[in-house]
Structure 1
């Protein structure tokens, strides 16, 4: 087990993507840490007034990481820790796939190039995603960090994250004195963090793939934030899967969220699903559709043993907390689901003992 006791907290930390939930609330937490002298929040758009108020003493800089200005900010402010949390999961409304790749990949390349050149930078933390593993019928029960996708992901976001991770590993090779940490976050649920799972599971009628029951391993939004804070303040170098304990089958997740699953052939999943859910289904990315088809499991041994992070919420608890927070009027009560699952597990145990 690796110790993180000798890892010093940053003196000057810079966080990209500060106008969004994870980046903004990470800035808030870092600004409340007296051991950190200066916190710089960066984004291409200003945070809300409420978020700026929460950020307290942090300094907000309106900047695009693709612009040379970011180099001046990092150099002139003697930044020693950079947290890159500004990657986007889908193309902007007014943009295209080309615009998305430009923002994600080119932005990361420019940012890491600056980190390489500025001597004060000692640590870079990347918010990545379990999307890099893809979702397919050939997947193992759990992916470890050494594994790669069994079938190359076809989704734009997954391909971008694979590229960005590669560029960060290249930076680590060129600057051996620089610590790099990659957090591969599981799909995150919460009432403050917009994502694909929220609108999907809150639909009264939820389209699912006939003959499949995806294995979901989720992460509570507060745990996602805490893991990023841990990696920034005291995290060791390395790549870490971050997820709550346990899995929930998609059929169980739909029931726990109070919805009703409507199985259909995969060929009709998007078209018929659009009829059930409206524009929500139309906006889903290839990664999201594959995830609802197959799911993805993560091995989190390294998260505990090396990163020293313990999630507060299991997958099931995260899902239930999300449902409570948005006040769902459940069709099927959670207590009924718990009781039914306990009875089934008990019956299976008795049958096994009888044999």
Structure 2
């Protein structure tokens, strides 16, 4: 018998692509079935993925796991608030994670749990170290919003690990994927014709290539890779470099009240900005990925620079959202 994999958050760009990728691997990789759940039907062709309309914030998810005999859970129904999401993002992130773990607690057949976490767990503050390792703690910027959700979700997963020590748990703290087809706060920010920046700050940014994100997640499913790992392209790109290479003029704004001012500017352009992004655009964040290479056993194929350059080549002026119509 092969694995039966449950993927949450199937309507998300990355989750749907990853679930389809697993389904395509099929029996050759020891996967019998891939089940994806979400309250919103995913767009596009899912291939061999079985979609189940279910809300992870309710006990229904436990019934789905029992009926489908799920033994591997990949939690990707987790992320920052998107435009128009309102307060529902926190409920999905925190309450949804709690309910999903409760379902796993009651499911004797579950053998593996993979959390698609975020480097946002380290927060963003002027007191940050040059690089965060997996043992680093946040210095600030995790008291509200998505970073707080990540901290809480990881704490719930650690508690679950103590209650069910026989289940193999992998936590992947990923930087934001930068790709024209994957929704992320930084991609949405770069889509704007003019970029608000904080006067006196030029943050270091890291990006994750889509192929690396898919490969690392697949490795965690197919093989036993317990532990917590940072996942981000090596190196950094400064915000000023990114704006210049994209050909985007910047609007320097005072750092005090930068978040609110930047959001007003971007809304005038018909877009929006993630409520937590302003701290990253001020202080930046860089993580060390040595453990991913040396312990997890994966060598990243694309640096942050290479990931950004690919994004830049595929980003054409005049066809970005908010510039001249849809892509």
**Scaled by the length of structure 1, what TM-score is found?**
0.83
**1:186 CA drift (Å):** 0.7
Which blocks of at least 5 consecutive residues in structure 2 are unaligned?
319-327
**1:296 CA drift (Å):** 0.3
**1:202 CA drift (Å):** 3.4
Superposition pairs for residues 243-254 of structure 1, below 5 Å?
243-254=232-243
**1:10 CA drift (Å):** 5.8
1:146 aligned residue: 135
Write the deviation string for residues 106-154 of structure 1: whole angstroms up to 9, x where unpaired: 1111110111111110000011111111111110010000111112513
The 10-residue stretch of structure 1 (201-210 or 301-310) with the greater mean CA deviation from structure 2: 201-210
Alignment partners' CA distance in 2, 1:325 and 1:319: 10
1:335 aligned residue: none
Alignment partners' CA distance in 2, 1:304 and 1:17: 27
2:283 aligned residue: 294
Superposition pairs for residues 314-329 of structure 1, below 5 Å?
314-328=303-317
The reply on whether 1:20 has 2:12 as its aligned counterpart is yes
Change (3 A) 1:247 1:180: same
Structure with bigger gyration radius: 1
Alignment partners' CA distance in 1, 2:157 and 2:257: 39
Superposition pairs for residues 203-222 of structure 1, below 5 Å?
203-222=192-211
1:40 aligned residue: 35
Alignment partners' CA distance in 2, 1:107 and 1:275: 31
More helix by proportion, 1 or 2?
1
1:61 aligned residue: 52
The 10-residue stretch of structure 1 (294-303 or 9-18) with the greater mean CA deviation from structure 2: 9-18
2:324 aligned residue: none
The 10-residue stretch of structure 1 (120-129 or 310-319) with the greater mean CA deviation from structure 2: 310-319
Alignment partners' CA distance in 1, 2:58 and 2:257: 43
The reply on whether 1:201 has 2:193 as its aligned counterpart is no
Aligned length: 315
**1:327 CA drift (Å):** 2.1
2:229 aligned residue: 240
Does structure 2 conserve the Cα–Cα contact (< 8 Å) formed by 1:154 and 1:287? Answer: no
Task: Choose from 57, 61, 83 the match for 1:70.
Answer: 61
Write the deviation string for residues 12-44 of structure 1: whole angstroms up to 9, x where unpaired: 111001111111111111111222011111111
Alignment partners' CA distance in 1, 2:41 and 2:284: 35
Alignment partners' CA distance in 2, 1:145 and 1:273: 31
**Scaled by the length of structure 2, what TM-score is found?**
0.90
Alignment partners' CA distance in 2, 1:306 and 1:328: 41
Q: What secondary structure is seen at the aligned counterpart in 1 of 2:5?
A: strand
**1:273 CA drift (Å):** 3.5
Superposition pairs for residues 1-355 of structure 1, below 5 Å?
11-33=3-25, 34=27, 35-48=30-43, 50=44, 53=45, 55-90=46-81, 93=84, 95-96=86-87, 99-267=88-256, 269-270=258-259, 272-274=261-263, 276-279=265-268, 283-328=272-317
Does structure 2 conserve the Cα–Cα contact (< 8 Å) formed by 1:213 and 1:250? Answer: yes
Does structure 1 conserve the Cα–Cα contact (< 8 Å) formed by 2:5 and 2:31? Answer: yes
The 10-residue stretch of structure 1 (59-68 or 200-209) with the greater mean CA deviation from structure 2: 200-209
Q: What secondary structure is seen at the aligned counterpart in 2 of 1:278?
A: helix
Change (3 A) 1:248 1:119: same
Does structure 1 conserve the Cα–Cα contact (< 8 Å) formed by 2:188 and 2:273? Answer: no
Q: What RMSD in Å do the two structures reach over aligned CA positions? A: 2.1
Q: What secondary structure is seen at the aligned counterpart in 2 of 1:316?
A: helix
Change (3 A) 1:281 1:249: farther
Q: What secondary structure is seen at the aligned counterpart in 2 of 1:311?
A: coil
Alignment partners' CA distance in 1, 2:291 and 2:72: 22
Does structure 2 conserve the Cα–Cα contact (< 8 Å) formed by 1:88 and 1:100? Answer: yes
Which blocks of at least 5 consecutive residues in structure 1 are unaligned?
1-8, 330-355
